[in-house]
C-alpha cells in the first residue's frame, strides 16, 4: 500500500512539475516590462495531449495573421492537391476553362510556370467566369488599405496576384502589367487611385532599383485582357452554359510553394484565395463565409471555444479567437501534416520567413500575427528531450513598439522552454 501511494505521489509531482500555474505565468509576464501593460493570453500543450498551462487562455483576442492557421488546417483537410483550374476541350481547337480561386497565375513572387504554359495553348481560349463573385475586400478590412499589397482584391481567378509590380528606373517607373501612370509631388512612393486603375508615383520617394507592389481593381473583362496580352492570343469571355462539356481539373502540384507563401511570408492574397478554393470545392461557389461555416461546423466537436472568423488572412479586426483554440488548431495541424512538413513549411526562428525577427529563439516553428497594437506568436518547439509542444502567445492592446513586444515574447518563450526541458 505504501508503494502504491509513493507511486501516486511521484506521478502527481511529475505532472505538476510540468504544469505551470496561472499565477506563476502571470508573475513571469509581470516581470517583462514590454508585456506589463498589454493584454496577454497564453496557452500551452503537448502536440498530442491535454493542455498543460494557460494564462487567460479562454479570453477572446485579435489573432491577425494567426488566422492563417485556421485557413491552413482547412486547406490540408479539404485538398490532397490544389486544382489550378477546370478545363474542357472542344473539337480539338477550343480550350474552355473555369476558375477555382487558384492564385499563382503569373504571380510576381510565386509564379506557377506550369499553369502559364498550359494557357499558352495553340487552342483558342474561352474563359467561363463565375456568376457570383466575392466582395473585393473582406469584411472589416480598413477602407484606406486598398492601395497596399496586403489588401489585394479577392477574385475567382487572380492574375499577377491581382497586383502590379513597379520597378523604379532611372527615367521613371516600369509597371507590370501596364496601367496609366503619372508623376506627382505628393508625399507618396506609389499609390493607386481609389476607384480606378490609375497610379501615381513620386520619383523622389524611392530609390532606383527598388520594387513596390500595389493592388489593381479586378474584373472579368480585365482578367481576359491581361491573359490575352500574356499569352499573345485571343481570349474569349464566354458566359454561355457549357455543362455539355466534359470538365476536368488541372493540377500543377504547387502546394508546397503555396503553403510556404501562406505561412513563411504570411501572404494575405494566398490566404484569401485558399478560402475561396475551399468554398468552391465544397460546392458553395466563391462564398468565403460558406467555407468558414462548413469548417467551423466540422471542427465544433474539438474546438475549445466557438470561432469568430470572417476572412482567410486575418486582415479583419472582426476575427476573434482564444489562445487555447489556436493551440487546438496547432495540434490538429500536427496530426494532419506531421512534424517534417511543419519544419519545412513554417517559419523557423532566426532563420526563415517572419521569424527572422526572432533571432534569440531556438528551435521554434511558428506563425506571427500583427496588426496595429496587436502581435501574436503561435506554433511549436521541440525540447532537449525530444518532447514537442504547441503554444500560443497573444499580446493585444499595447502601445509599446512592436519590436519590444517581440523581445518580450522571446523572453517569455525562452523561460517556458527552460522550464519544460
The string of DSSP letters for 184-199 reads --SS-SEEE-SSSS-E
14 part of a folded domain: no
The helix (run of H) or strand (run of E) holding residue 44 is strand 39-46
> Are 132 and 185 within one domain?
yes
Domain boundary among 247, 265, 282: 247
> Are 151 and 240 within one domain?
yes
> Are 279 and 224 within one domain?
no
259 part of a folded domain: no
> Are 207 and 288 within one domain?
no
> Are 406 and 286 within one domain?
yes
Residue ranges in the chain whose pLDDT is less than 50:
1-17
d(CA 57, CA 294): 25
372: which residues sit within 8 A by CB, 6+ positions away? none
Reported as a single tens digit per residue, the pLDDT across 234-284 is 899 999 999 999 999 999 999 999 999 999 999 999 999 999 999 999 998
Radius of gyration of the CA atoms of the chain, in A: 24
User: Count of domains in the chain?
Assistant: 2
Longest dimension (CA), the chain: 89
> Are 95 and 152 within one domain?
yes
Beta-sheet strand order (sheet of 374-382): 53-55, 39-46, 388-396, 374-382, 364-371
d(CA 409, CA 354): 14
Reported as a single tens digit per residue, the pLDDT across 364-376 is 999 999 999 999 9
| Torsion angle in degrees (nearest 10) through CA of 62, 68, 159, 205 | 50
Domain boundary among 247, 264, 297: 247
204 part of a folded domain: yes
CATH code for the domain of 411 = 3.40.710.10
> Are 192 and 43 within one domain?
no
- Model pLDDT, residue 203: 87
255 part of a folded domain: no
Q: Which domain holds residue 167?
A: 84-247
> Are 391 and 290 within one domain?
yes
Are 72 and 267 in contact, with CB atoms under 8 Å apart? no
> Are 363 and 295 within one domain?
yes
Are 397 and 375 in contact, with CB atoms under 8 Å apart? no
Bridge partners of residue 109, in order along the sequence? none
> Are 32 and 114 within one domain?
no
Q: What are phi and psi of 48, to 5 degrees?
A: -135, 100
Q: Which three cell numbers stand for residue 195?
A: 476607384
Are 62 and 320 in contact, with CB atoms under 8 Å apart? yes
Q: Which three cell numbers stand for residue 128?
A: 467561363
Q: Which three cell numbers stand for residue 25?
A: 505565468
197 part of a folded domain: yes
Task: Give the dihedral sign, CA 198/203/209/211.
Answer: negative
d(CA 331, CA 46): 8
> Are 108 and 30 within one domain?
no
> Are 72 and 88 within one domain?
no
Domain boundary among 212, 247, 282: 247
264 part of a folded domain: no
The vertex-27 CA angle with 26 and 30, nearest 5°, equals 85
348 secondary structure, DSSP code:
B
- Model pLDDT, residue 206: 87
266 part of a folded domain: no
Count of other CB atoms within 10 angstroms of residue 213: 18
Count of other CB atoms within 10 angstroms of residue 172: 12
227 part of a folded domain: yes
Amino acid at each position: 500500500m505504501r508503494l502504491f501511494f509513493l507511486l501516486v505521489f511521484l506521478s502527481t509531482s511529475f505532472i505538476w512539475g510540468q504544469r505551470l500555474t496561472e499565477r506563476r505565468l502571470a508573475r513571469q509576464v509581470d516581470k517583462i516590462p514590454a508585456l506589463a501593460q498589454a493584454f496577454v493570453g497564453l496557452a500551452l500543450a503537448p502536440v498530442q495531449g491535454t493542455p498543460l498551462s494557460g494564462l487567460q487562455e479562454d479570453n477572446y483576442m485579435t489573432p491577425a495573421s494567426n488566422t492563417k492557421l485556421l485557413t491552413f488546417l482547412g486547406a490540408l483537410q479539404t485538398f490532397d492537391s490544389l486544382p489550378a483550374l477546370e478545363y474542357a476541350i472542344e473539337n480539338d481547337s477550343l480550350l474552355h476553362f473555369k476558375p477555382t480561386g487558384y492564385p499563382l497565375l503569373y504571380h510576381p513572387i510565386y509564379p506557377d510556370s506550369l499553369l502559364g504554359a498550359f494557357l499558352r495553348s495553340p487552342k483558342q481560349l474561352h474563359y467561363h467566369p463565375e456568376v457570383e463573385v466575392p466582395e473585393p475586400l473582406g469584411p472589416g478590412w480598413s477602407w484606406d488599405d486598398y492601395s497596399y499589397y496586403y489588401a489585394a482584391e479577392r477574385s475567382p481567378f487572380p492574375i499577377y496576384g491581382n497586383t502590379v509590380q513597379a520597378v523604379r528606373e532611372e527615367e521613371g517607373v516600369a509597371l507590370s502589367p501596364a496601367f496609366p501612370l503619372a508623376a506627382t509631388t505628393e508625399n507618396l512612393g506609389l499609390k493607386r487611385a481609389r476607384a480606378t486603375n490609375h497610379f501615381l508615383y513620386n520619383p523622389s520617394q524611392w530609390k532606383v532599383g527598388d520594387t513596390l507592389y500595389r493592388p489593381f481593381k479586378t474584373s472579368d473583362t480585365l482578367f481576359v485582357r491581361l491573359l490575352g496580352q500574356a499569352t499573345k492570343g485571343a481570349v474569349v469571355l464566354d458566359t454561355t452554359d457549357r455543362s455539355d462539356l466534359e470538365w476536368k481539373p488541372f493540377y500543377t502540384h504547387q502546394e508546397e510553394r503555396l503553403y510556404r507563401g501562406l505561412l513563411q511570408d504570411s501572404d494575405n492574397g494566398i490566404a484569401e484565395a485558399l478560402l475561396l478554393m475551399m468554398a468552391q470545392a465544397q460546392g458553395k461557389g466563391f462564398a468565403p463565409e460558406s467555407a468558414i461555416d462548413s469548417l467551423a461546423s466540422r471542427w465544433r466537436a474539438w474546438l475549445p471555444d466557438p470561432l469568430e472568423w470572417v476572412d482567410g488572412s486575418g486582415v479583419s479586426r472582426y476575427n476573434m479567437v482564444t489562445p487555447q483554440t489556436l493551440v487546438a488548431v496547432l495540434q490538429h495541424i500536427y496530426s494532419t501534416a506531421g512534424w517534417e512538413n511543419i519544419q519545412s513549411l513554417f517559419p523557423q526562428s532566426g532563420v526563415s520567413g517572419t521569424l527572422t525577427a526572432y533571432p534569440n529563439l531556438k528551435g521554434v516553428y511558428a506563425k506571427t500575427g500583427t496588426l496595429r497594437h496587436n502581435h501574436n506568436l503561435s506554433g511549436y518547439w521541440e525540447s532537449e528531450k525530444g518532447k514537442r509542444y504547441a503554444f500560443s502567445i497573444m499580446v493585444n492592446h499595447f502601445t509599446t513598439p512592436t519590436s519590444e513586444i517581440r523581445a518580450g515574447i522571446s523572453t517569455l518563450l525562452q523561460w517556458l522552454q527552460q522550464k519544460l526541458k
